[in-house]
Chains A and B, each alone.
Chain A
Amino acid sequence: MSVIDIIFRVDEICKRYDKYDIEKQRELNAYGDDVFARLYATVEADIDAAMGKADRAAKESKRAVTAALNAENRKTKARLMDEVTKLQKLARKKVKGLSKEEQAIRADLVLALPERIQAIPDGTTTGADQGGGWGGSASHKNITFDTSEENLNDDFFQQSEESSQFRQEHERRKLKQACKDEGLDVISDGLDTLKNLAHDMGEELDRQVPLMDEIDTKVDRANSELRNTNVRLKQTITSLRSSRNFCIDIILLCVILGIASYIYKYVCVLYLNSLTYFLLPLLAVFHLLSCLANTYLFCTCCSILQG
């Protein structure tokens, strides 16, 4: 059997034996058909509950709780004001079994109700009874500066622990800022030096530019001159190479002159004519020389055409 079952069972039993509960019967019978009385009783109960809450709010230190309780009280008050109007209507109604005096009493009771309802404290009232405390003042309707004496003692202007901590923090931050400023100064000096160096480097480079241009032209000129010289050198070398032919020619010449002189010796012995002694070898020599010259010219022409 679970708890819920128990609860249901108990409720049933209570309902069955309610008729034996004397106080409850009395209460129910007391007001029986009287709507007014019942309503009046509920209103009174609500007022009492609200007063209880207000007392709790006054004692409560947490602002949030007090604010919540006050808000509930305000809601209750508004509701109760509506109930009061209903009660007033009911009070005027004629109820059977009630004497005139009782009706008058009821009317007075109803009249007294609004005052009682308004008297429930919910944090908005600033009545003369209340001292203007800070506690629970969540509404902005009545903002007053509290100059009551209870707070203006020496402790009020003394540094509390929090404010001294704030001051220390502020001074620490100021020191740190001063260090940062020094660091920034160092950086600024470094940047100044860099800027100066960069400017000087730029000017130096500007100075070097025309020098480089001059070097460029001079080197170009030297280059072309060198190339010319190389070509001419090559030409001279190729023409010199054909000096091999020269040497061959000279050797041949010497050999042939030797042969000629040999023949000349023989011719002198054979022929007695002086002229022929003179002319024939000369003719032979000239003939040979011309052949040699022709061959030489032929060879040089060939070499020039080749190289």
Chain B
Amino acid sequence: MSSDPDKLVAKADKLTKLTLTRWSADWRNATLNYEQAANAYRVAKKYEKAKDAFEKASKGQEMLTSPWDAAKHMESAAALAKELGNWNDVADLYRRASELYVECGRAQPASDALGKAARAVEDHLPDVAVQLYTDACSLLEEDDKDQMAFDLYRALTAVHIKLEKYTDAAAALLRLGLAADKCNASNSQFKAYLSAIIVYLYANDVKAAEKCYNDCSQIPAFLGSDQGRCGSRLISAYSEGNVEEIKRVAQSSTITHLDHAIIKLGRKLPTGEVTAVKAGTEEGEGLDEDDLT
């Protein structure tokens, strides 16, 4: 066994190539060689070659019908790709790994892989990250492991807020609330609803915030909880146009217990004109009369 990784790779390639003399590829030995070569490359910090070797090793393991090892190799390859900075490669490799994990029937590592991928690319390819997070969450929800999805939803919300897509962020928070409801995690659920209301208010969409609050109030426990009371105070402060009250509510301790991104939004409230709410409702009534005539 030569310790030179190039030679190992060459040998393994020879083992796998089908020629006249070789009717079936010897995958076991080839995979062994590929793994050794990949580790050697990683130690030598030749990331490109290591990545390739890991990919080939993974394929070998697939041929040996052990998807678990294949997935593990794929993940290593993806981590090396992250070092290299090939973000598309990273996403693809992690996706492939996640599919292999699903083949094993293990949803948790699959979603972990997607989560790692999303975290790696969220700075550079935020849309791809969004897609990855959503896929990860749906994987967990299919497998009834909603509790693990909380962190992913929160990360997804953070990405949306960074992209300033506030409706998407609020939607993600409401999905978090739904997941929390399924596992009776009432504290997280109420915090998610309050965060959604704050996001709507930050986006200056008071009507949507009110609608959101009314929807969430269908749950009686929410009305009586700290977060529910805080939300109602915010909404009433907005409808009265009372800036002082809004600021005071935003400084309260209930909001301090939410996520960092939401706290930042809350501190910046109120955005835009607050007193325009009442005028808006009057306009609405005028339009209705016009429609009736």
**Interface positions of A (Cβ within 8 A of B):** 189, 192-193, 196, 199-200, 202-203, 206-207, 210
Contacts and interface: CB of A to CB of B under 8 A. Distances in A.
Interface in B133-148: 145, 147-148
A202 B187 CA distance: 10
Contact of A199 (B147, B187, B256): B187
Contacts of B147: 203, 206-207
B257 A192 contact: yes
B16 interface: no
Contact of B188 (A189, A192, A203, A210): A203
Contact of A192 (B183, B185, B254): B254
Interface size, B (range): 10 to 19
Contacts of A196: 187, 257
B288 to A, nearest CB: 43
B183 A189 contact: no
A193 B256 CA distance: 9
A206 B187 contact: no
Interface in B178-235: 183-185, 187-188, 226
A206 B185 contact: yes
Nearest to B257: A196
Choose among A196, A206, A210 the residue with the greatest number of B CB atoms under 10 Å from its CB: A196
B253 interface: yes
Contacts of B185: 203, 206
B253 A200 contact: no
A213 to B, nearest CB: 13
11 contacts: A189-B253, A192-B253, A193-B253, A193-B256, A196-B257, A200-B187, A203-B147, A203-B188, A206-B185, A207-B147, A207-B148
A38 to B, nearest CB: 94
B183 A206 contact: yes
Contact of A193 (B183, B188, B257): B257
